């Protein structure tokens, strides 16, 4: 008993290999095997490599990092050498995505590289930050924003041709209506649906593969969607995904929450680039079967710097909800730590008996 109680005093840091990880049937832990059949599954074999390695397939990883703004253009083809440029790309990627900055292809880094994400590059001039400031939002080059006259209304429309058939038009309209309203609650911008797709400010559609804008989609998972900076207005979703409006009725392991992605891409349409805050809507990665639709302080500060605040917006209640979410996460993490402690204690006690 004394041993058990003293173990509870220990900090929660012990090798995870002491006890087997629980079997996970969904994507909640980014497990590498979850992305086996996705466009970036081939990167799994690069796990644990570090500078100096030479392995077939590193050239593809350099191409991936180049696509998302971490690796420079080179003359000729990318090589299979794990060189200083690749290490630098990994360091920047880990720093940007909130991972431990090791410069190595550790399992967490490889899992996030293989995870589905937005197709927009992460390479953007970062918003100026000072010590003690927590904002991590960013804008596109030149900080473009919509310049429609005040009070600003942006129209949006769904492509009549580029559609998916397993969700009704009304289901998709409801999802986007909620996603737009989250942004209009915090900035003085209204969104209204327009009939004429060609003349709408924001033009939404589901596209497959190479669809003519230089940013081809890649099938199930991988890149999920992309949108263009102001005042372009194109918002494209990969038609190959299993888009879900309700995980109770959509059972696919690779289902992606439409509302989460819609909310993220509208952020791009308004002028926000990717954030380094993992809880923010503008973080580039989203796990299958997960839902993230609430704007966080980082998102709100970023978009309000571009457009000002909606006079009806209550900043205090946003801070409160941010604190509550962080609190819940802390309690969850403490609960898990306590459970691990108990399991470890029982395991060690068992070894001694
Ligand atoms: Zn994005
Ligand atoms: Zn596109």
Listed residues: CB within 5 A of ion ligand 2 = 213, 215, 236
Output the pLDDT for position 322: 81
Q: What is the mean pLDDT of the segment spanning 147-169?
A: 96
**Residue 352 pLDDT > 80:** no
CA 336 to centroid of ligand 1, rounded, Å: 31
Biggest CA–CA distance in the chain, Å, is 77
Q: Which of the ligands is closest to the CA of residue 119?
A: 1
Q: What is the mean pLDDT of the segment spanning 317-326?
A: 81
25-58 pLDDT, tens digit each: 344 444 445 677 789 999 999 999 999 999 999 9
Listed residues: CB within 5 A of ion ligand 1 = 118, 120
DSSP 8-state code for residue 279: T
Q: Which of the ligands is closest to the CA of residue 238?
A: 2
CA 272 to centroid of ligand 2, rounded, Å: 17
30-114: CATH number:
1.10.101.10
CA 44 to centroid of ligand 1, rounded, Å: 23
CB 160 within 8 A of CB 197: yes
104 exposure class (CB count in 10 Å sphere: 0-12, 13-18, 19+)? buried
Output the pLDDT for position 3: 40
161-216 pLDDT, tens digit each: 999 999 999 999 999 999 999 999 999 999 999 999 999 999 999 999 999 999 99
H/E element, 225? strand 225-227
Question: CA 169 → CA 66, 89, 164, 231, 316, distances in Å?
Answer: 36, 41, 9, 25, 36
Output the pLDDT for position 18: 30
**Residue 133 pLDDT > 70:** no
Q: Which of the ligands is closest to the CA of residue 267?
A: 1
Output the pLDDT for position 28: 44
**Bridge partners for 285 per DSSP:** 117
CB 286 within 8 A of CB 116: yes
Could you tell me the pLDDT band of residue 21, with boundaries at 50, 70 and 90? very low
Could you tell me the pLDDT band of residue 339, with boundaries at 50, 70 and 90? low
pTM above 0.85, yes or no: no
55-96 pLDDT, tens digit each: 999 999 999 999 999 999 888 899 999 999 999 999 999 999
CA 4 to centroid of ligand 1, rounded, Å: 47
CA nearest neighbour of 69 among 117, 130, 136: 117
Q: How many CB atoms lie within 10 A of CB 57?
A: 13
Question: CA 142 → CA 136, 211, 230, 238, distances in Å?
Answer: 17, 27, 11, 28
Active-site residue set: 265
At the top level of CATH, the class of 152-313 is: alpha beta
Output the pLDDT for position 29: 44
Output the pLDDT for position 294: 97
214-245 pLDDT, tens digit each: 999 999 999 999 999 999 999 999 999 999 99
Phi, psi of 127 (to 5 degrees): -60, 145
H/E element, 202? strand 202-207
- For 279-284, the CB contacts below 8 A with 24+ separation are 279/325, 280/136, 280/137, 282/137, 282/138, 283/97, 284/68, 284/97, 284/117, 284/118, 284/120, 284/122
Q: What is the mean pLDDT of the segment spanning 102-107?
A: 96
270-308 pLDDT, tens digit each: 999 999 999 999 999 999 999 999 999 999 999 999 999
CA 259 to centroid of ligand 2, rounded, Å: 18
CA 224 to centroid of ligand 1, rounded, Å: 9
Report percent pLDDT > 90 for the chain: 72
Q: Which of the ligands is closest to the CA of residue 260?
A: 1
Output the pLDDT for position 100: 95
What is the location of CATH 3.40.390.10 in the chain? 152-313
Q: What is the mean pLDDT of the segment spanning 102-121?
A: 96
Could you tell me the pLDDT band of residue 351, with boundaries at 50, 70 and 90? low
Angle CA 162–166–172, to nearest 5: 65
**Residue 350 pLDDT > 70:** no
CA 275 to centroid of ligand 1, rounded, Å: 9
- Cα(55)–Cα(45) distance, rounded to whole angstroms? 9
CA 39 to chain centroid, in Å, comes to 17
DSSP 8-state code for residue 128: P
Output the pLDDT for position 20: 31
CB 156 within 8 A of CB 173: no
- Cα(326)–Cα(134) distance, rounded to whole angstroms? 15
- Cα(17)–Cα(57) distance, rounded to whole angstroms? 29
What is the location of CATH 1.10.101.10 in the chain? 30-114
């Amino acid at each position: 008993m004394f041993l058990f109680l003293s173990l509870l005093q220990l900090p929660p840091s012990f090798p995870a290999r002491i006890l087997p990880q629980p079997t996970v049937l969904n994507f909640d832990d980014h497990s590498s095997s979850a992305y086996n059949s996705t466009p970036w599954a081939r990167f799994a074999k690069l796990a644990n490599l570090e500078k100096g390695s030479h392995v077939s397939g590193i050239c593809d990883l350099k191409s991936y990092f180049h696509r998302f703004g971490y690796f420079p253009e080179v003359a000729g083809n990318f090589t299979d050498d794990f060189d200083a440029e690749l290490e630098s790309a990994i360091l920047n990627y880990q720093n940007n995505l909130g991972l431990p900055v090791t410069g190595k292809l550790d399992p967490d880094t490889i899992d996030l590289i293989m995870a589905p994400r937005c197709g927009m590059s992460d390479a953007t001039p970062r918003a100026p930050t000072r010590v003690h400031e927590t904002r991590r939002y960013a804008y596109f080059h030149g900080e473009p924003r919509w310049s429609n006259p005040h009070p600003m209304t942006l129209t949006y429309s769904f492509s009549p041709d580029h559609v998916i058939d397993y969700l009704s038009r009304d289901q998709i309209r409801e999802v986007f209506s909620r996603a737009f309203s989250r942004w209009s609650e915090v900035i003085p911008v209204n969104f209204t649906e327009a009939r004429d797709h060609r003349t709408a400010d924001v033009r939404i559609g589901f596209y497959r593969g190479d669809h003519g804008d230089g940013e081809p989609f890649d099938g199930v998972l991988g890149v999920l969607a992309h949108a263009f900076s102001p005042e372009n207005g194109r918002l494209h979703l990969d038609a190959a995904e299993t888009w879900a409006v309700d995980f109770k009725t959509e059972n696919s392991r690779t289902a992606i929450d439409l509302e989460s992605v819609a909310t993220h891409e509208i952020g791009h349409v308004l002028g926000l680039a990717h954030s380094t805050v993992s809880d923010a809507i503008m973080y580039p990665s989203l796990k299958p079967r997960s839902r993230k639709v609430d704007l966080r302080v980082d998102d709100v500060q970023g978009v309000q710097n571009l457009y000002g605040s909606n006079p009806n917006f209550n900043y205090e209640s946003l801070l409160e909800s941010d604190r509550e979410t962080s609190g819940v996460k802390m309690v969850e993490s403490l609960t898990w730590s306590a459970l691990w402690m108990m399991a470890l204690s029982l395991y060690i006690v068992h070894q001694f008996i």
